[in-house]
Amino acid sequence: MLGNTLGAFDPIAAARSLHDLLRPGDLLLVDGEVFSGEATVAGYDNPLNRRFAWAPLHAVGIGEDDGDLRFEVRVDARLPGLHPLAKYFEARHGVAARLGGETLRLRAGERVEMNHSYKYAADTFVRILTGAGLAPRWQGTSDDGRFVMALAGRA
């Protein structure tokens, strides 16, 4: 499960679910993005990623003149070193999103939460795995220090 897939879900719950899917002798290779403050946000809040993030909003009739796309580091109080990076659209004025014959009307200041992605302190990533009953047999960090990876089986 590479590509910070664990971080696209609730990583604590996802790790527990993965534990339950593994049979004795199975191994799981997972990685996560190491949180590094503003550098992490800059990796998402850039022109290429913004264009990608606007695509679903454009598909329902919302454009850049209608509001702002924001990225925000939030706190997950369940575990130190667990950082959800949220993405949301905030309407600047009244706007309507249309899809499948349905209309969702937003007032100025209302938000539409979009996907999020969890980032980790390296030790927190491993703590999530061990807390889910997984035993890391190997772990490493990318050459640039931005990602942590672990090969784990059931404890």
pLDDT band, very low/low/confident/very high, at 146 (cuts 50, 70, 90): very high
The residue extents of the domains of the chain are 1-34+121-155, 37-119
Give pLDDT tens digits for 53-94: 999 999 999 999 999 999 999 989 999 999 999 999 999 999
Only one residue has tokens 């590479």, namely 2
**Token pair of 76 as six digits:** 């997950």
DSSP three-state, residue 28: strand
Q: Into which CATH architecture does domain 1-34+121-155 fall? A: 3-Layer(aba) Sandwich (3.40)
Only one residue has tokens 């606007």, namely 54
